[in-house]
Structure 1
Amino acid sequence: MSHSHDEDPACAAAHGHVRPEEAGQPEETGRPEKAGRTLVAVFASPVADHLLRFGVELGFRPILLEPDPDRGLGGLSAASVAVVREVGDHLDGTADVVVTDHHRAEIGPILRDVLGSPARWIGIMGSPRHEGPHVRALTELGVPPGEIARVHRPIGLNIGSRTPPEIAVATLAGLIADRNGRPGGFAH
């Protein structure tokens, strides 16, 4: 089957006519070292499990930031996901950071440190109906309001997601839209 020379690059990649990197998309090798963006899920949780698992398939280099050494990896494989205990050099300018549990006591110090890193995008799960606990925690740590405002909340596309896999899909869809300079949703 031949393809048209004026075929949309994403369509050409989807149909296997060109490799994803030729269409301006990350190569889907499943190998974290080849990814162009880093996805950091903060705190081991069911949503973190799905975010990082799906993130590998979408070309992200997956990292779990879990400060508590007594917490396990959940359903994740240590071979496919790097696990770190603190904010460090792995939060570079390619890092998209998603805080997956807004009830953890460490939320303030972790977010303060993430805000001090070169991470390109920072978000925290939570309902837009009330102020997130991160605002108070960061304020108490002396983080200026302008820095606190850099933390996106809510995160992901508004698709009515309720389960951990749905929340992960909505979040990743929002990050993909951002990566591609698109608004997300159905507005074209």
Structure 2
Amino acid sequence: MIDDSACGVAHGGAADDPEVRVLVAVFASPVSGYLLRYARDAGFRPVLVEPDAGRAAEAAALDVPVVASMPELDGSADVVVTDHHRPELGPALRDALAGGPRWIGVMGNPRHRGPHVEALRELGVGEAEILTVHRPIGLNIGSRRPAEIAVATLAGLLADRNGKPGGFEF
């Protein structure tokens, strides 16, 4: 038998990643539900931030921690805002930026200016900090449904974390 350690990944023999990785999805939505489930399988510790008590109660079925405000973050955390129409967008992003996450992004159509820019300006967040918020996010695979959007988003995060361009370039 040939020893091919790369083959071990396909057969479940890969070593666990010792790095603690956190994925914070901001706002309960169909996309955040899939994103958090897939993130756990990809080795992330998933957390949902949902300031609306009613929506938070509905999200309890996801079996992930649901918190009303941004948890303490550090450079191991990735933050994905899954709804850019919420009135809490600015404060949630401001609080996420203050925590110093590794990566932060907002879902949205790349053909439209993100409402997060003005929301953050109104809260006094500096331009340099606003520019660190990614939008659009994820790999461009033509996603249309929530599960596909979650896969594209998670794949983009993993590519970025691993210093890879994503897609089929190796």
How does the TM-score come out when normalised to structure 2? Answer: 0.92
1:179 to 149, 152, 161: 161
What aligned pairs does 1:132-171 form with structure 2 within 5 A after superposition? Answer: 132-171=114-153
Contact 2:28 2:59 in 1 (8 A): no
Deviation by residue 1:156-183 (Cα, 9 ceiling, x = unmatched): 0000001100000000001111222211
**Equivalent residue runs for 1:67-82 within 5 Å:** 67-72=51-56, 74=58, 77=61, 80-82=63-65
In structure 2, runs of 5+ residues without a counterpart are none
Q: Would you tell me which structure has more helix in proportion to its own residues?
A: 2
Runs of 5+ consecutive residues of structure 1 not aligned to the other structure = 28-34
Distance in 1 (CA, whole Å) between partners of 2:140 and 2:106 is: 15
- RCO (CA 8 Å, sep 6+): is it higher in 1 or 2? 2
Which of these residues, 15, 25, 49, is aligned with residue 11 of structure 2?
15
SS of 2:105's equivalent? strand
Instruction: For 2:70, give the aligned amino acid.
Output: V
Quote how far apart the aligned CAs of 1:81 are: 0.4
How many residue pairs are counted as aligned between the two chains? 170
> CA RMSD for the aligned pairs?
1.8
1:95 counterpart (71, 77, 102)? 77
- Deviation string for 1:1-24 (max 9, x for gaps)? x3x33x353x322123x3332xxx
> Amino acid of the residue matched to residue 155 of structure 1?
I
Q: Secondary structure at the match of 2:55?
A: coil
- TM-score scaled by length of structure 1: 0.84
Give the 3 Å change call, closer, same or farther, for CA 140–172 of structure 1 in structure 2.
same
Runs of 4+ in structure 1 off by over 6 angstroms are: none
Letter in 1 for 2:149: I
